[in-house]
Amino acid sequence: MKSELCVLAVAIIGYVSAQSKEIQEDPCKVKSRVVSDVTYCDRYWECVDGQPELYDCPNGLVFAGKNRGVTEGCDYPWRSNYCAGKQQANPPIGTEHCEWLYGIFGHETSCTRYWTCWNGTTTEQFCIGGLLYNEKTHSCDWPDNVVGCQKHPLCNDDPNGNVPLGKSCNRYWQCQGGYPRLQRCPAMLVFDRNSLRCVVPPTEDCDVPSTLPPPRQEEEEFDNVPQNNPKNREQKGEFPNLPPGALPVPAKNNRPRN
Q: What is the pLDDT of residues 57-100, one digit of tens each?
A: 999 999 999 999 999 899 999 998 999 999 999 999 988 899 99
Helix (H, G, I), strand (E, B) or coil at 222: coil
- Which letter does DSSP use for residue 154 in this model? G
Domains and their CATH numbers in the chain: 23-91 (2.170.140), 93-149 (2.170.140.10), 151-202 (no CATH)
8 Å CB contact between 213 and 91: no
8 Å CB contact between 123 and 114: no
pLDDT at 191: 95
As a whole number of Å, the end-to-end CA separation of the chain is 49
Q: Pick the closest to residue 138 from 85, 84, 80 (CA basis).
A: 80
Q: Full-prediction pTM beyond 0.75?
A: no
Q: Pick the closest to residue 128 from 258, 226, 17 (CA basis).
A: 226
pLDDT at 166: 87
Amino acid at 116: T
The pLDDT tens digits for 155-196 are 878 878 999 998 899 999 988 777 778 899 999 999 999 999
Backbone angles phi, psi at 60, to 5 degrees: 105, -15
Position 246 pLDDT exceeds 70: no
pLDDT at 27: 92
The pLDDT tens digits for 123-150 are 999 998 778 899 899 999 988 888 777 6
- Rounded CA-CA distance 206/210 in Å is 11
